[in-house]
Copies of this chain bind each other. A is one copy, B any other.
Amino acid sequence: MYSFRNDYSEGAHPQVLQALLDSNLEQTVGYGLDPYCEAARSLIRELCGAPGAGVHFFVGGTQTNLVTISALLQSYEAVIAAQTGHICVHETGAIEAAGHKVCTVPTEDGKLTPAEIENVLASHSTEHMVEPRLVYLSDSTEVGTVYTKAELVALRDCCDTHGLLLYLDGARLGSALTSPESDLTLSDLAALTDAFYIGGTKNGALFGEALVMTLPHDRFRWHMKQRGAVLAKGRLLGLQFQALLKDGLYWELARRANEMAFRLRDGLSALGCAFPLPSPTNQQFPVLPNSVVKGLQAAGYRFEVDHAEGPDQTCIRLVTSWATPEDAVNTFLQSLADCKE
Contacts and interface: CB of A to CB of B under 8 A. Distances in A.
Given A97-B226, A227-B228, A231-B59, A30 B8 contact: yes
A129 B10 contact: no
B92 A219 contact: no
Contact of A74 (B6, B67, B219, B232): B219
A161 interface: no
A221 B93 CA distance: 13
Interface residues of A, number: 73
Nearest to A12: B24
A-side interface mostly: loop
Contacts of A219: 74, 76, 127, 131
A116 interface: no
A339 to B, nearest CB: 21
Interface in A107-141: 127-131
Contact of A206 (B2, B10, B223, B233): B233
Interface string A306-320: 000000000000000
Contacts of A27: 2-3, 9-10
A244 interface: no
Interface in A30-75: 30, 59-67, 70, 74-75
Given A92-B225, A98-B99, A131-B222, 19 more contacts: A8-B233, A9-B29, A10-B24, A10-B26, A12-B24, A14-B24, A17-B21, A63-B228, A65-B228, A76-B225, A93-B129, A94-B226, A94-B227, A94-B228, A99-B99, A127-B225, A127-B230, A128-B225, A207-B233
Interface of A: 2-3, 5-6, 8-12, 14, 17, 20-21, 23-30, 59-67, 70, 74-76, 78, 89-94, 96-102, 127-131, 201-202, 206-207, 219, 221-233, 236, 323
23 contacts: A9-B27, A10-B24, A17-B21, A17-B24, A59-B59, A60-B228, A70-B75, A76-B97, A76-B222, A89-B129, A91-B128, A91-B226, A92-B127, A92-B130, A94-B225, A94-B226, A96-B130, A127-B221, A127-B225, A207-B231, A207-B233, A207-B236, A227-B228
